[in-house]
Structure 1
Amino acid sequence: MTSELPKTFDPAAIEARWYSHWEENGLFRPERPDAVPFTIVNPPPNVTGSLHIGHALDNTLQDIVVRYERLRGKDALWVVGTDHAGIATQMVVERQMNAKGQKRTDFTREEFIAKVWEWKEESGGEITRQLRRLGASMDWANERFTMDEGFSKAVIKVFVELYNRGLLYRDKRLVNWDPGLKTAISDLEVETKEVQGKFWHFKYPLEDGSGHISVATTRPETMLADMAVAVNPTDDRYKALIGQNVRLPITGRLVPIVADEHADPELGSGAVKITPGHDFNDFEVGKRAGFKPADMLNMLDADAKVVQCGGIPEELLGLDRVEARGIVIGMIEDAGLLEQVEDRTIQTPYGDRSGVVIEPWLTDQWYVDAETLAKPAIEAVKSGKIEIVPKTWEKTYYNWMDNIQPWCVSRQLWWGHQIPAWYGPAVIDGTPNYIVGDGPVATPVFVAPTFEEAVKLADAYYEGSATEYFEAANPLSAYMDTGGDPKKIGLWRDTDVLDTWFSSALWPFGTLGWPDAAEKPSPLQGRGLGEGAVSNASATPVVRDSPLSPALFPEGERGSMLARHYPNDLLISGFDILFFWDARMIMQGIEFMKEVPFHKLYLHGLVRAADGSKMSKSKGNTVDPLGLIDKYGADALRFFMAAMESQGRDIKMDEKRVEGYRNFATKLWNAARFCQANGIGASAHLRAPDATLPVNRWIIAETIGCVQALDLAMAELRFDAAANAIYHFVWDRFCDWYLELIKGQMDDETKAVAGWVLDQILVMLHPFMPFVTEELWHAMGKRDGELIIAHWPQPDAHALDRTASEEIDWLIRLVSDIRAVRAELNVPPGAKIQAFVRDASDQTKVRLEEKQWAALARLARIESLSFDPAPEGAAAQIVVDEATYVLPLEGVIDLASEKARLDKALGSAIKERDALAKRLENPAFVEKAKPEAVEKARDDFAEKSAEAERLKAALMRLG
């Protein structure tokens, strides 16, 4: 029993209804305990986020794969969750508090975190509702959050174990410091902008007064913390000066002239001022020159204001770095040491959230030994355990991993996973000392999952001398609360939290129940832990397991979700997080699970504006995917994303194409209505029905070919090829030809075949357009279940009929050519014409006279067919295979006016073609014009060239 479809296809009316039905009935992950598992995890979006066009692409591609594998009968799990987004979330809550006249520091840390959780429950997760509108068929019943209790346990366990394995440590290094947020940030959170600035050239006098060295800088204020001047060891101008000192202007400090290849003799004076505490390159030069990080000068505080670091005049102290810059320049100019000032465009780093200039800042942070973790991750790709698609990204992956730097994982925030490290007083001469820092006796650190475990480590360090341990806020309060009793020991926890990339790196196994699902001690590595550090490890080092060895947890001892779904099958992500997330998951997965986290990594490109430029709010060229869904429907947007995704290439946004794919859905809708009107309904067959008519045997073969093309494209993750295959099959073969060919011959066989083909179309198209296909699936008749869990078509080679396929393909070519001639020569649509055939084979004659005459007459508007010679006079001729078809035109069209029209159109096309050719031959245009302008010119040239050839052929037909 069918329900009659409305005349108009209205996406909005069906999307909300079907999504809630799928979710409420658990259809995104039906019970399939005996099925082959298939697992994919989504890159967890920020809990503060909203759906942008990049999310739409990323999640559409994932949903296509998951729906495809679910239809193929697999236990398809799409892990869903959100990231706690430390900086972004804290900013949102603080902004709300500021609106009420409150500050974060008005509250205790615990009170503030409670407010964040309150915000999360009330307002967080808007993006998950938006993902539902896109049609993302995620396992919402097992939604995770990077701060939920189970996942937090995994994060803390990983931190402690990495520390105990010697793979995580505290160090003083340069970080990207955001003075607005007062925290270190990752490279991904730094936005580089071009700023018009200056390049100042200074004279640094030699210590002996014999001359000076010229240096240049875009940041004059940093000279207050200079520690050296570097020259290239091969530069003859300065060889004699290496090892001598210069006297810094303003501070008067003496700094050495050092040899380092960082100094380029071809740039400027060839001498470079070295400020290791405020420049990433200078930091490395400083280390090579023998400066320890602890001895490097730091002239700025957390607010980027000047602090004393040796000889800085009082009038500069407390000034913002920009204010200090102007005074420093004036002082140098007054001293007669300013040589020149150049205008310069400067690449300047800004915090993407705070909007302030980022400062390379020397500070103590927690670091992961990424170099060690990277080695097995590199090997995993080289050995083929992980396949990167497209393969072109492998080189980028290796280059970054081979040159990987220590990974800074600490952030100076309150919201996030607080670092599980407690500090205590160093023991000096048998007495706990609470004010020791980085001196000869370092402050001991106790890394443990809980305070109670930290106390056990502390007790071993203090050799059981304490009678009481208590937790304090900081060293001062710890000391005060002891009341001077050395038997009481106060421990204070590190106030930093972990970078969100640290927690999301555990996503492939932390979301599956690890470590509770596989609770078993893992081996410690026995690496050196550094002075003052206290380990959970036993005294006897444990030999490190080789990478990619059998799983740490035997199959029978792992939780069912973890055992069944780790490793994941596939990861889909944008190439821009290859290092921030993808590579780190590989490193952590191998380290803790002894298996790669996923077998295949697919990296897609970015969605760009229509002109190819990068989308940004500042440019005003962003596109709201929800607005596109409101306008055209989720199915149309999804199909656009799939059709345009070509193995990692960037996608140009084109709303017209989104509209075109809504029209495609409408075309299918109308085809289903035609089937309903002609008694064609839901098929009772999984396999193709028996068929004798060539047209039915042809469409069955075409259906099988489409399934095979789809399967091949999906296996290779060629989303564009998959979308192209189903699009052309539905529009060209089924709607435009098959339904036209069967008009007027709706026998039982044809109805059965047409119903079966439409069913196969709905199943094949479902991963791309889930809403319209589910609606049509149920509208066509009674079903045993929903389309989302139907059976994927199985290609049946026995159903292929080459003879029928060749016959119908011949008919389609013949009708198409006749239609093209009629259109080119302005033959009135209703006019019926004669056809005279010569050189036809016996097979063609049988097709023309017996098998396909009715279809040819109807579709090509042929009045009569003859094998006699054609009459004299103007006629169009076409050739299909061995036969020539002559179509007399006398009395059908005005030949003179038609020749004149074609001749005029040909002249115009040639003129435009030649003008474009001349433009493209001009090197000035090709080299200087915008790439999109050159590309358009080439496209226009190709279009006009083809038009000219077509018009020439039309004129030749008229003789």
Structure 2
Amino acid sequence: MTSAASENPRNRADALPKSWNPSDVEADLYERWVGAGYFTADTGSAKPAYSIVLPPPNVTGTLHMGHALDHTLMDLLTRRKRMQGFEVLWLPGMDHAGIATQTVVEKQLAVDGKTKEDFGRELFVDKVWDWKRESGGQIQGQMRRLGDGVDWSRDRFTMDEGLSRAVQTIFKRLYDAGLIYRAERLVNWSPVLKTGISDLEVDHKEVEGELVSLRYGSLNDDEPHVIVATTRVETMLGDTAVAVHPDDERYQALIGTTVYHPITGRQIPIVADDYVDPEFGSGAVKITPAHDPNDFELGLRHNLPMPTIMDITGKIADSGTEFDGMDRFEARLKIRERLEAEGRVVGRKYPYIHQVGHSERSGEPIEPRLSMQWWVKVEGIAKAAGDAVRNGDVKIHPASQEPRWFEWVDNMHDWNISRQLWWGHRIPIWYGPEGEIVCVGPDEQAPEGYVQDPDVLDTWFSSGLWPFSTMGWPDSTEELRKFYPTSVLVTGYDILFFWVARMMMFGMFVSDDPVLTAGKDPKQVPFQDVFLHGLIRDEHGKKMSKSRGNGIDPLDWINEYGADATRFTLARGAQPGGDLSVGTSHVTASRSFITKLFNATKFALMNGAQPGELPARDTLTDSDLWILDRLDEVIAEVDGALDRYEFSKALEGLYHFAWDEFCSWYLELAKVQFAESEERAASTRIVLGNVLDAVLRLLHPAVPFVTETLWQALTDGAEGESIVISAWPAVSGATADTAAAQRVADTQKLITEIRRFRADQGLADSQKVAARIAGIDAADLRAQEAGIANLAKLTEAGADFAATASVEVRLSTATVTVEIDTSGTVDLDAERRRLEKDLAAAQKELAGTNGKLGNAAFLAKAPEDVVAKIKARKEIAEGDVERVTARLAELAAK
């Protein structure tokens, strides 16, 4: 630092604006970082590697609060690691989002009365690519607004040529290993989208329906018949059995016989199966194997026929009844009406509230439907994914999520990977003219005359390769050699199974690939840590959703409060596995904190604060030693918390250190030291500068924009070109001075008690009063006397001093008595009115707590913690009543 800076300490303060306005700074600052290459990873670096791949948002999407949380935490981790000397790769990208993207483009065509069939597959896919190029980059701009320090030079898209090559490669490897097969199975079918969809794309909602009880068999009570109940009357057209529990005595004579189907006229068997709950309804259930997942499994066990009675649009088809051609919901009504007319409806419960799966994208109820699909046999690779966690190769944070992980991977069903769409990775299976089947790899050609399977792969298939496909696999690349396996995966616990499990399965399947293991351990996992955060909820703890109208657009927050305040709010609330509630009160508190940091830095600069070599510790004041030692403790606490992914703990600690200790105490005590002597002022400037420098660096990963701006002003370029590439603070190694810390603690307690006493006396905060302090030498606080007087607004007692009030404060080594002369400083009438109002409030609170504690019925039912809180409130109220009453008595005597 130049001598000119210390001679004219206001120079650097003048470089800052009068107030912090994020919109004036953030965009330009971010582009400077990107342009300087701070976020571009160097595969040739000798630094240890640290890598994260961004969970790819949908190309159709926008940044919602869940994304903002994800990105903030990943940015915090990577910025810190970069400052710690790691070569960091944070690799961004987007998912092609097969269903969502195709739906968007089809809706655009529908505006002109067109469908995809009007263009044909090839032209339609070209139109989707056109849309992607024009509109698909919206989320990238939002990531920049948030401050994501990603390596834009390595931005990837799941439909890129390289990633498509990876998809084709692993499909063929799985197919050749016998792990991919084609079979007719039950899937979630969307009649609107005309495709099977994954469980993740199904929203289960409570709906009002009706439960209809139907009579199968004879209408004569003396002849065989059964009563079944259903909410989906139309599916009875596909019934191939009625099932009862094998131990249900009511049906023993009917098991193994047949019963008349009232619509088709067929005789269907009555089978016995443990699946049936004999306590529910009549204890008999209709079995429609092609349109219900439980019925499908039962149908397999009993070798039942499985006729599909709906087409891909949800219309009744091939049932051989007058209902063919009807929409499923129309058929539901018409079939029930016919059965009512025949006397076969023996009961109706309406409304009947039950859960129904709906397509997330198109909104209609999904239809479980038997369909020929491609599947991955997951048993072996799912076990490997489970074992990777069991043996510690992959660690899940928090560990409390591990049982859910094992429950999922240990009981996983085969994975349906085919989708009846045009946008996506085409399944690399080709069919010959004589029914031949060949799987074509990325460097192979299908035989002439062969036709490719029309289906595309589930989006999760390509995103399951994300940790290594984005780095160039299956080819050997510098990225894979330097940055794979990745260091940590950050995502919400809600997609632990859908996405994380698939990445783990694919990662373990190729774990011994020479491309991945070259020069490394024999087997490679896709990531070493999995950090699972919770869901974002509103400030009342309710899940954010469009239907509730309680969602928050993070860009609204960024526009109004700034990216730093938005990021700090999210990071401060993020606990491993825990949901976090956010609202306006939280982000305004974060903005206030950033404003406090800005003002504190400006004050420090105006007084010439600058980082530098610290003076010898034996020349420093108690306040200096205390803040330096506390800084060491905070650095250690923050490091430990962040290493454990305890973001909330780390940020909460930084918040309180920066605000409560550094700003509220040290800066105030520093003002006194600045006035003592030039030697003391010079020493204080360096301590203040060093602590502020460390605080800005510690906070930088969470609030990068304001810290960069303030750090540049503080260091004036002497410490490096950007805080982004500055060194992460380290513990000094000095032995903490516990005696100095105790004296500062005593000083703080004494000042706090004097301030409280002043408030009780009705003194204004700025009002200085004469005082005399007895016992200050016994308390070993003589060196703190000037600071005490300054922060407690006390002046020296003159010769005519006459105390009107006093307070005793018990400190660690002695009791200090403070005598104050308040004569002429208090408006007695105004103070009496204020105290009377306080007394009435305290008496009301005391009466309320006494009433509850005197209510035997309440005490018998109330939880212990509730009773304890009421007792604590009562004690506080009693103290307030006693204190205010005594003060009123003092005023009455004047």
Taking structure 1 as the reference length, what is the TM-score of the superposition?
Answer: 0.84
Q: Which runs of 5+ in 1 are unaligned?
A: 427-442, 456-468, 471-490, 518-558, 928-933
* 1:395 equivalent in structure 2: 403
Q: Which string of whole-angstrom CA distances, capped at 9 and with x for unpartnered residues, describes residues 421-472 of structure 1?
A: 011233xxxxxxxxxxxxxxxx3321112595432xxxxxxxxxxxxx22xx
Conservation of the 8 A alpha-carbon contact between 1:411 and 1:499: yes
5 Å matches for 1:482-493? 491-493=450-452
- Measure the CA separation in 1 of the matches of 2:616 and 2:303: 78
- Measure the CA separation in 2 of the matches of 1:680 and 1:23: 30
* 1:818 equivalent in structure 2: 754
- Measure the CA separation in 1 of the matches of 2:204 and 2:388: 33
* 1:857 equivalent in structure 2: 789
Conservation of the 8 A alpha-carbon contact between 2:54 and 2:90: yes
Conservation of the 8 A alpha-carbon contact between 2:768 and 2:795: no
5 Å matches for 1:208-357? 210-291=223-304, 295-309=305-319, 312-313=320-321, 315-343=322-350, 344-357=352-365
5 Å matches for 1:109-508? 109-205=121-217, 210-291=223-304, 295-309=305-319, 312-313=320-321, 315-343=322-350, 344-426=352-434, 443-449=435-441, 452-455=444-447, 469-470=448-449, 491-508=450-467
1:345 deviates by 0.7
Conservation of the 8 A alpha-carbon contact between 1:419 and 1:497: yes
- Measure the CA separation in 2 of the matches of 1:406 and 1:255: 30
Q: Which string of whole-angstrom CA distances, capped at 9 and with x for unpartnered residues, describes residues 367-389 of structure 1?
A: 11122211111111111111111
1:947 deviates by 5.2
Corresponding pairs, count: 848
Q: Does 1:563 align with 2:481?
A: yes
- Measure the CA separation in 2 of the matches of 1:953 and 1:587: 68
1:940 deviates by 9.4
5 Å matches for 1:569-718? 569-594=487-512, 595-681=524-610, 683-685=611-613, 692-718=620-646
* 1:801 equivalent in structure 2: 737
1:137 deviates by 0.6
* 2:769 equivalent in structure 1: 832
Q: Does 1:768 align with 2:702?
A: yes
- Measure the CA separation in 1 of the matches of 2:840 and 2:177: 81
5 Å matches for 1:863-874? 863-864=795-796
- Measure the CA separation in 1 of the matches of 2:213 and 2:269: 19
Name the CA shift for 1:119/1:938 in 2 (closer, same or farther; >3 Å). Answer: farther
- Measure the CA separation in 1 of the matches of 2:16 and 2:617: 25
1:509 to 468, 480, 489: 468
1:749 deviates by 1.2
Q: Does 1:755 align with 2:689?
A: yes
Conservation of the 8 A alpha-carbon contact between 2:757 and 2:807: yes
* 2:724 equivalent in structure 1: 788
Q: Which runs of 5+ in 2 are unaligned?
A: 6-11, 513-523, 675-680, 890-894
- Measure the CA separation in 1 of the matches of 2:185 and 2:877: 67
* 1:876 equivalent in structure 2: 807
- Measure the CA separation in 1 of the matches of 2:348 and 2:860: 34
Conservation of the 8 A alpha-carbon contact between 2:216 and 2:262: yes
- Measure the CA separation in 2 of the matches of 1:581 and 1:409: 13
Secondary structure at the residue paired with 1:202? strand
* 2:521 equivalent in structure 1: none
- Measure the CA separation in 1 of the matches of 2:235 and 2:616: 77
5 Å matches for 1:942-953? 948=877, 951-952=880-881
Secondary structure at the residue paired with 1:384? coil
1:118 deviates by 1.1
- Measure the CA separation in 1 of the matches of 2:441 and 2:615: 58
- Measure the CA separation in 2 of the matches of 1:347 and 1:113: 36
Conservation of the 8 A alpha-carbon contact between 1:875 and 1:957: no
1:925 deviates by 10
Q: Does 1:740 align with 2:679?
A: no
Whichever residue aligns with residue 117 of structure 2, its letter is T
Conservation of the 8 A alpha-carbon contact between 2:617 and 2:625: no
Whichever residue aligns with residue 266 of structure 1, its letter is E
- Measure the CA separation in 2 of the matches of 1:569 and 1:688: 41
Whichever residue aligns with residue 559 of structure 2, its letter is D
Whichever residue aligns with residue 583 of structure 1, its letter is A
1:765 deviates by 0.5
Name the CA shift for 1:276/1:942 in 2 (closer, same or farther; >3 Å). Answer: farther
Conservation of the 8 A alpha-carbon contact between 2:385 and 2:508: yes
* 2:816 equivalent in structure 1: 885
- The answer to which of 794-803 and 636-645 deviates more is 794-803
1:818 deviates by 1.6
1:903 deviates by 2.8
Q: Does 1:730 align with 2:673?
A: no
- The answer to which of 165-174 and 825-834 deviates more is 825-834
Q: Which string of whole-angstrom CA distances, capped at 9 and with x for unpartnered residues, describes residues 471-500 of structure 1?
A: xxxxxxxxxxxxxxxxxxxx1110100011
Name the CA shift for 1:200/1:46 in 2 (closer, same or farther; >3 Å). Answer: same
1:107 deviates by 1.1
1:355 deviates by 1.2
* 1:16 equivalent in structure 2: 27
1:891 deviates by 4.5
Name the CA shift for 1:779/1:422 in 2 (closer, same or farther; >3 Å). Answer: same
Conservation of the 8 A alpha-carbon contact between 1:420 and 1:494: yes
- Measure the CA separation in 1 of the matches of 2:454 and 2:615: 65
1:782 deviates by 2.1
Secondary structure at the residue paired with 1:349? strand
Conservation of the 8 A alpha-carbon contact between 2:626 and 2:744: yes
1:508 deviates by 0.6
- Measure the CA separation in 1 of the matches of 2:854 and 2:456: 62
- Measure the CA separation in 2 of the matches of 1:916 and 1:132: 55
- Measure the CA separation in 2 of the matches of 1:914 and 1:137: 57
- The answer to which of 823-832 and 650-659 deviates more is 823-832
Whichever residue aligns with residue 72 of structure 1, its letter is Q
Secondary structure at the residue paired with 2:207? strand
Name the CA shift for 1:664/1:917 in 2 (closer, same or farther; >3 Å). Answer: farther
- Measure the CA separation in 2 of the matches of 1:940 and 1:615: 31
Conservation of the 8 A alpha-carbon contact between 1:688 and 1:756: no
* 2:47 equivalent in structure 1: 35
Name the CA shift for 1:146/1:813 in 2 (closer, same or farther; >3 Å). Answer: same
Q: Which string of whole-angstrom CA distances, capped at 9 and with x for unpartnered residues, describes residues 119-174 of structure 1?
A: 11111121111011111111111000000000110011111111111111111111
Whichever residue aligns with residue 449 of structure 1, its letter is G
Whichever residue aligns with residue 448 of structure 1, its letter is V
Conservation of the 8 A alpha-carbon contact between 2:116 and 2:124: yes
- Measure the CA separation in 1 of the matches of 2:871 and 2:499: 43
5 Å matches for 1:74-93? 74-93=86-105
Whichever residue aligns with residue 32 of structure 2, its letter is H
2:713 to 752, 765, 779: 779
Name the CA shift for 1:686/1:770 in 2 (closer, same or farther; >3 Å). Answer: farther
1:611 deviates by 2.0
* Cα RMSD after superposing both structures: 2.8
